[in-house]
Structure 1
């Protein structure tokens, strides 16, 4: 599977699980792609931390691109009816208020307790944790959307995080190209896997300890 196919698969699965009528923040990277795959029968209000509520799908190349209309990934996007704009202070007041139903963010590592690390890698320059630290404590549900392993095969789902944390026990749901996990009471549970991998293959690419849900769904791909 190519990197592009991996991202699309994850984004599609995330889009399906977002709450109808919900207010959802989409973070940088794969999360911002989810808006392009939202089910037509759902009404979801997408917020981006750079100051927009009512984010629509990305602008297509054949359209007249509006360069100032962008999401958190700096991708040109469209508006949905009722879209509004605001400054950064208002954006983060929304996030910190507890009124946002969910956020979808990326990850460098996630451990079996639901700790999240998504802002710093050793040896690489960083600006700081940014809005992620507000998102993981200010919204009702934290959904992590990430590839199951890094490009070099390094495990992202680990027993203990070895890079700086964004938050402890903050992850509710984890979506990869192969599986969906839930976290509850400091434990990790496998709820779903795709039809192109086995349980044994998932275990081989996951260092974190997890339990199997009573009923595991298999998603046809």
Structure 2
């Protein structure tokens, strides 16, 4: 009877030891995570706790409910993620401020350019209003009884004449008005014509009278 009791005690001790070994082995298999959200029956957001690798791998990590806690790392995964989000938001705000400054700079430049154009066209209008008209050009004709010119009067000819009066106009901002005798922007016959100067900043154009005379007729006059 005593022998049987001794055997029972030995078996009980062995079982307890086995259970402790199993528990230690099970503990070694657990992984530590930090919860990113409240998980019922497990824990609240921000808590660190051990879970089985399978639950971490199959549920918590894929569903964004938790992050692994790296051994020896003092920074909380949740705090680390929040810090990165704050940095991204800060970069977004700085980017928006920078973009706003660029837009403001462009707007200021555009306003300055518009003011400069307005001042230029206003001064040009004043000079054109003082211009003696008409501007007269003489050309040979193809025949004594013919009004067709031997050559032409071009926009460049008029702009060159304007420079004699101290008036400078860009070639792209002036042209002859449509009329019989004007071909491809050039006067090809004797007569009276209109040369229009565009004042874009003022939203209008200024007409200059142009008279083309036969060269012999001009000499007699």
TM-score interval (norm. to shorter) = under 0.3
- Flag the structure with larger Rg: 2
- TM-score, normalization by structure 1: 0.17
Structure with greater contact order relative to length (CA < 8 Å, sep ≥ 6): 1
Query: What TM-score do the two structures reach when normalised by structure 2?
Result: 0.17
Larger % of strand: which?
A: 1
